[in-house]
Amino acid sequence: MDFVAILGSAIQQALGPTAIIYCLAAIGLNVHFGYTGLLNFGQAGFMMVAGYAIACAVTIFASSLWLGVLVGLVLAALLALALGVPTLRLRADYLAIVTIASAEIIRQTIAAASFSEYFGGQDGVTDFIAGFRDANPYSGSVGIPGLFRWSAFDIWVMTVGWLLVAISCLIVFLLMRSPWGRVLKSIREDENAVRSLGKNVYAYKMQALVIGGIFGALAGFMVSLRSAAVGPSFFATDVTFFAYTVLLIGGAARVFGPVVGAIIFWFLITALGGFFSQATAGSDPLIPEAIMDPTQASLMRFIFLGLGLMLLMIFRPQGIFGDRRELAIDAR
Amino acid sequence: MPAETEPTLTKGGGTAAPAATRSAEARAALAGVEHEPGAKKPDPIVVAHGIRRQFGGLTAVDVEHLEIQKGVITALIGPNGAGKTTFFNLLTGFDRPNEGTWSFKGQALDKVPAYKVARMGMVRTFQLTKVLSRLTVIENMRVGATDQRGEGLLSAMFAWLWRGQEQDNTVKADELLERFLLHKKREDFAGSLSGGQRKLLEMARALMADPELVMLDEPMAGVNPALKQSLLGHVKSLREEGRTVLFVEHDMDMVRDISDWVVVMAQGKVVAEGPPHTVMSDQRVIDAYLGSHHDQDLSEDVEEQILAEAQAEIDAEHPEETK
C-alpha cells in the first residue's frame, strides 16, 4: 500500500481543475439553494450551455474565446429567465422539476445526431483551445517531487480557475451582506412574509436564479478549458448532484462553504478511489478477489462517499461551516 | 405619514388622557354612522364593493359593501370559516376575488400585487405568525423597512451607497424593539422566540414600514394574559399615532376593550356592524356567533339554568317523546 501516492493524487485532485469546476457550480447553487431556497437541479444545464458556447464560438464562428465567454454568460442568463418565468410564481418544487428536465433536454438536444455537424453529437467539440494555450505564461510543471505534480497547462487552468473562484466568493460576500442579500435570505425563510413587507419576491428570485446560473456558466467554461473538449457526457445529471454534495459538505449559505466542500469532496473521493484500487491490485491483493475485484473496487468510493454524506447529515447537517444554532431552529 | 414614537407611547400603550380623547374622537366620527351592514363612513380608508371569492362550489367571501373608517380600530369578528382571513387576503392582494372592486385611500387595488399594496401603506400580519426564523430579530426588523437603496441588485455590492440608510433603519428598529420589549432578544434568531414574542416581532416589523393601515390577523391567538395586556396597549398606541387598525379576533374581551367599530361576518357575508356594545347585543350576531350566554361567566347556576331552558325547549317541541 503506497499511502504517499494516494495522498499525492488526493491533494492533486483536491486543488486541481476538477475541484474548481465543482466549486464554481456549487457557488451558483449556494446562491440558488443556500441563500434563496430555490431548488435548481439543473446546474449541469447552465454549465453545458456555457461550455458549448465557448467551444462553438471558435469552431463554428471562428471568433475568439472571449466572445464565447460573453455568449455563454448571456445564454446562461437567458436560460435562467426561461426557467424562472413560468415556475418562480409557483411552489418551489416546480422549479426543481423544470430545471432537472430542462438540463436533460439540453443535453439530449445538443448530443442529437441531427446537430452533429455543429456540436459533434456524442463526441462533442474539440480543437478550440489554441488561444487559451497560447496565453499560458507558465512553462514546465509545478509540484512537490514524489508527491504530486501539475503540468504547465493544469497550472494555467488552475490559476484562471481559482481566480474565478476568488472573484465569485467576493461577489457572493458583497451581495449577501447587503440588504439585497437579506431579502434573499428572508425569501428562503418565508416568501409571504417578505411579500407582506413590500418586496417584489418574484423579481428577487429571478435575480438570484440568473446570478447563480452565471456562476454555473463559469463552471461550464472551466470544463471546456480544462479538458480542451466538451461533450454531452461532461454534463450528465450527476454533475449537479455532486455539486450539491459539495455545497452540503461545506455548508449552505456560507461564502466559503463551496470552496471547502469542493476540496474535501475531491480529496476524499480520490483518496478512497486510490485506496480501493491499490487494495485490489496485484497478484496478492489486500482485499481477496473473492470479496471484491478491481472493477467493483472502482465503485466503492461512491458507496463510502454516500455513507459519509449520510453520517454528515446525521451528525453535522449544517455542513462544516454551518451554525449549530440555526439547526436548533429547524427542528421546531 | 410621520410615525412619531413619542416618549409617552414608547412605554407601551400611551397615557390615559390622550388615549381617551383619540378614542372619543374616533367614536365621535362614527357616531352618525348607521348600524347596518355596508354602512357609509364619513372618511373611509378602505372601500370594498361586491367582493366575491369562490373556491369551487364554496363561496368563501361575498361582501356586498364595506367601508373601513380612517384612524379608528375596527374589529372583524365571526365564527370559524366565516371568510375573515380570506377577506384579509383579498384586501391585501394575497388572493384575487372572482369579482368585485376595492380601493385603499381612493386608489383601486384590482390589479395591484401584494407587495405594492404593502408599499402603499397597508401592511398585514398573519394568523400563523411568519417570522424569518434563521435571521436574527434585528435583521427581521431591518427587512421591514421600505425604500431601501441597498435592496437593488446594482447598488447592493457597494456598501457606501446604503450604509447611512441602514444605520437610520437600525436606530428605528431598536426603538421599536425597545417599545415591544424585544430588545433583549436583538441578536437571537427569530426562530428561537416564543409564540407570543413572535406575535410582537411580527407587529413591530410591520411598523418598520410606517403603514397607514395595519391589518392584524388574530394578534392574540396563543398569547398569555400578561402579554395580551401589553399587546392591547400596542394596538391602542397605533391609533394614537394616527394609524388605522383592522384586526380579526376571537377574543371578545379584546374586541370590546379596544375596538371603535365591529364588523361581523358569517358565511362569507357581513351580517352586522356597529360600535362594540350595540353589535354584541344584536340578535343576528348572537345567533350567528356569540351564543345567547356570551356575556355571562359559566357558573354552575347559570349552567343549570341553560340546561333547564334547553330541556324545556325540547319538551315543548316534542311533547310525546319525553314521556
Secondary structure (H, E, C), chain A: CCHHHHHHHHHHHHHCHHHHHHHHHHHHHHHHHHHCCCCCCCHHHHHHHHHHHHHHHHHCCCCCHHHHHHHHHHHHHHHHHHHHHHHCCCCHHHHHHHHHHHHHHHHHHHHCHHHHHHHCHHHCEECCCHHHHHCCCCCCCEEECCCEEECHHHHHHHHHHHHHHHHHHHHHHHHHCCHHHHHHHHHHHCHHHHHHCCCCHHHHHHHHHHHHHHHHHHHHHHHHHHHCEECHHHHCHHHHHHHHHHHHHHCCCCCCHHHHHHHHHHHHHHHHHHHHHHHCCCCCCCCCCCCCCHHHHHHHHHHHHHHHHHHHHHHCCCCCCCCHHHHHHHCC
Number of A–B residue contacts, CB under 8 Å? 112
How much is the average pLDDT of B197-213? 93
Nearest CA in chain A to B208: A197
Work out the minimum CA distance from B92 to partner chain A, whole angstroms.
Answer: 8
Of B132, B149, B192, the CB nearest to A186: B132
Q: Which residues in chain B are contacts of A189 at CB distance < 8 A?
A: 131-135
Tell me how far apart the alpha carbons of residues A138 and A44 are, in angstroms, rounded to a whole number: 30
Q: Which residues in chain B are contacts of A207 at CB distance < 8 A?
A: 153
Of A177, A196, A329, the CB nearest to B114: A196
Work out the minimum CA distance from B241 to partner chain A, whole angstroms.
Answer: 20
Task: Kindly state whether B127 is in contact with chain A, defined as any CB-CB distance less than 8 angstroms.
Answer: no
Nearest 5°: phi and psi at A123? Answer: -75, -25
Half-sphere exposure of A203 (CA within 13 A, CB side): 12
Percent of chain B at pLDDT exceeding 70: 89
Cβ-defined contact of B157 to A174 (cutoff 8 Å): yes
Three-point CA angle B196, B202, B203, nearest 5°: 95
Q: Classify the C-alpha dihedral B129-A199-B237-B32 as positive or negative.
A: negative
Cβ-defined contact of A193 to B139 (cutoff 8 Å): no
Q: Which residues in chain A are contacts of B151 at CB distance < 8 A?
A: 178-180, 183, 199
pLDDT of B168 strictly over 70: yes
Cβ-defined contact of A326 to B189 (cutoff 8 Å): yes
How much is the average pLDDT of B143-169? 93
Half-sphere exposure of A104 (CA within 13 A, CB side): 8
Cβ-defined contact of A178 to B162 (cutoff 8 Å): yes
What's the pLDDT band for B201 if we cut at 50, 70, 90?
very high
All cell numbers assigned to A97? 422539476
Of B132, B205, B206, the CB nearest to A189: B132
Give pLDDT, residue A83.
95
Residues 198-237 of A with CB under 8 A from B: 198-201, 207
**What's the one-letter identity of residue B313?**
E
All cell numbers assigned to A292? 471484491
Work out the minimum CA distance from B116 to partner chain A, whole angstroms.
Answer: 6
pLDDT of B121 strictly over 80: yes
Q: Which of A31, A178, A187 to mutate to test the interface with B (most CBs of B within 10 A)?
A: A178
Tell me how far apart the alpha carbons of residues A181 and B156 are, in angstroms, rounded to a whole number: 8
The 3-class secondary structure across chain B, one letter per residue, is CCCCCCHHHHCCCCCHHHHHHHHHHHHHHCCCCCCCCCCCCCCEEEEEEEEEEEECCEEEEEEEEEEEECCCEEEEECCCCCCHHHHHHHHCCCCCCCEEEEEECCEECCCCCHHHHHHHCEEECCCCCCCCCCCEHHHHHHHHCCCCHHHCHHHHCCHHHHHHHHHHHHHHHHHHHHHCCCHHHCCCEHHHCCHHHHHHHHHHHHHCCCCCEEEEECCCCCCCHHHHHHHHHHHHHHHHCCCEEEEECCCHHHHHHHCCEEEEEECCEEEEEECHHHHHCCHHHHHHHHCCCCCCCCCHHHHHHHHHHHHHHHHHHCCCCCC
Of B123, B152, B189, the CB nearest to A180: B152
Give pLDDT, residue A211.
97
Q: What is the pLDDT of residues A17-61, one digit of tens each?
A: 999 999 999 999 999 999 999 999 999 999 999 999 999 988 888
Cβ-defined contact of B118 to A198 (cutoff 8 Å): yes
Task: Kindly state whether B210 is in contact with chain A, defined as any CB-CB distance less than 8 angstroms.
Answer: no
What's the pLDDT band for B14 if we cut at 50, 70, 90?
very low
Of B144, B156, B206, the CB nearest to A180: B156
Work out the minimum CA distance from A5 to partner chain B, whole angstroms.
Answer: 44
Three-point CA angle A88, A93, A98, nearest 5°: 70
Sheet holding B213-217, edge to edge: B122-124, B213-217, B244-248, B73-77, B261-266, B269-274
Kind of pairing between the strands at B213-217 and B244-248: parallel
Of A171, A197, A332, the CB nearest to B209: A197
Q: Which residues in chain A are contacts of B204 at CB distance < 8 A?
A: none
**Cβ atoms within 10 Å, residue B103:** 16
Cβ-defined contact of B126 to A185 (cutoff 8 Å): no
Nearest CA in chain B to A190: B132
Tell me how far apart the alpha carbons of residues B215 and B73 are, in angstroms, rounded to a whole number: 10
Task: Kindly state whether B164 is in contact with chain A, defined as any CB-CB distance less than 8 angstroms.
Answer: no
Work out the minimum CA distance from B269 to partner chain A, whole angstroms.
Answer: 25
Instruction: Give residue A3's Cα distance to chain centre.
Output: 28
Work out the minimum CA distance from B28 to partner chain A, whole angstroms.
Answer: 32
Residues 48-87 of B with CB under 8 A from A: none
Q: Classify the C-alpha dihedral A46-A51-A56-A62 as positive or negative.
A: positive
Mean pLDDT of chain B, nearest integer: 85
Q: Which residues in chain B are contacts of A200 at CB distance < 8 A?
A: 113, 115
Cβ-defined contact of B148 to A179 (cutoff 8 Å): yes
How much is the average pLDDT of B120-125? 94
A42 close to A102: Cβ distance less than 8 angstroms: yes
Cβ-defined contact of A193 to B132 (cutoff 8 Å): yes
Q: Tell me which of 1.10.3470, 1.25.40, 3.30.70, 1.10.20 is the CATH number of domain A3-330.
A: 1.10.3470
User: Domain-by-domain residue ranges, chain A?
Assistant: 3-330
All cell numbers assigned to B9? 407611547
Give pLDDT, residue B2.
46
Give pLDDT, residue B298.
64
Q: What is the pLDDT of residues B32-81, one digit of tens each?
A: 788 888 888 888 999 999 999 999 889 999 999 999 999 999 999 988 88
What's the pLDDT band for B250 if we cut at 50, 70, 90?
confident
CA distances from B252 to A48, A181, B185, B224, B303 (A): 62, 42, 31, 15, 20
Q: What is the pLDDT of residues B134-144, one digit of tens each?
A: 999 999 999 99
Work out the minimum CA distance from B208 to partner chain A, whole angstroms.
Answer: 9
Q: Which residues in chain A are contacts of B109 at CB distance < 8 A?
A: none
Cβ-defined contact of B206 to A207 (cutoff 8 Å): no
Give pLDDT, residue A269.
93
Give pLDDT, residue B7.
40
B275 close to B41: Cβ distance less than 8 angstroms: no
Percent of chain B at pLDDT exceeding 90: 50
Low-confidence ranges of chain A (pLDDT < 50): 331-332
Q: Which of B130, B170, B194 to mutate to test the interface with A (most CBs of A within 10 A)?
A: B130
Tell me the β-bridge partners of B53. B61
Task: Kindly state whether A329 is in contact with chain B, defined as any CB-CB distance less than 8 angstroms.
Answer: yes
Q: What is the pLDDT of residues B278-323, one digit of tens each?
A: 888 888 788 777 776 666 666 777 778 878 888 888 888 776 654 4
Give pLDDT, residue A46.
97
Q: Which residues in chain A are contacts of B142 at CB distance < 8 A?
A: 179, 182
CA distances from A106 to A45, A51, B175 (A): 6, 12, 53
**What's the one-letter identity of residue A134?**
D
